[in-house]
Amino acid sequence: MNPAEFRRELERRWAELDSEAMSRKDSSGALFEFMKLYERLNAQERRLADQAIAEWIQSTNVRKQFDALALVDRFRIQAAAHQIMVLEAQLESRTGPEARYELAKVRRILERLKRKP
């Protein structure tokens, strides 16, 4: 499978898991299942997945963005550092309580990435 095919398959799998979880009204179900999938990837597949997950940080789909941030945080996906910094800059210009919460979360993730496991 070439990188483009792998990326499409990853997108398809996330969408499938998300749809199944939403139909069960299980908002975190897709994330936990995707984490299991990620853990089964070999090193080459993880590098490809890391790039896709990094891009999801800029997704307009809030569930996909949430899952991407959680994956980056859990697996310390260094490839996502730049995208998280871009999101941090975007959040700094927003107002409202949810923006402050998201900004704090993004900054915590950035700090964890800097520490590395």
Which pLDDT tens digit goes with each residue over 38-84? 999 999 999 999 999 999 999 999 999 999 999 999 999 999 999 99
Going by C-alpha positions, the residue among 58, 10, 52 that lies closest to residue 30 is 10
Task: Indicate the domain borders of the chain.
Answer: 3-115
Amino acid 21: pLDDT? 87
Give residue 91's pLDDT.
Answer: 93
How far is the C-alpha of 11 from the C-alpha of 56, rounded, in Å? 10
pLDDT tens for 85-96 read: 999 999 999 888
Q: Report whether 84 contacts 95 (CB < 8 A).
A: no
Global pTM value: 0.90
Q: Quote the CA–CA distance of 5 and 109 in Å, as a whole number.
A: 29
Q: Do 66 and 57 form a contact (C-beta atoms < 8 A)?
A: no
Give tens-digit pLDDT for 94-113: 888 888 899 999 999 999 99
Count Cβ neighbours within 10 Å for each residue of 19-51 and write b for 16 or more, e otherwise.
eebeeeeeeebbbebbeeebeeeeeeebebbbb
- pLDDT attached to residue 57: 96
Nearest to 68, CA basis, from 108, 14, 20, 111: 14
pLDDT above 80 for 116? no
In whole angstroms, give the CA distance from residue 19 to residue 2. Answer: 26
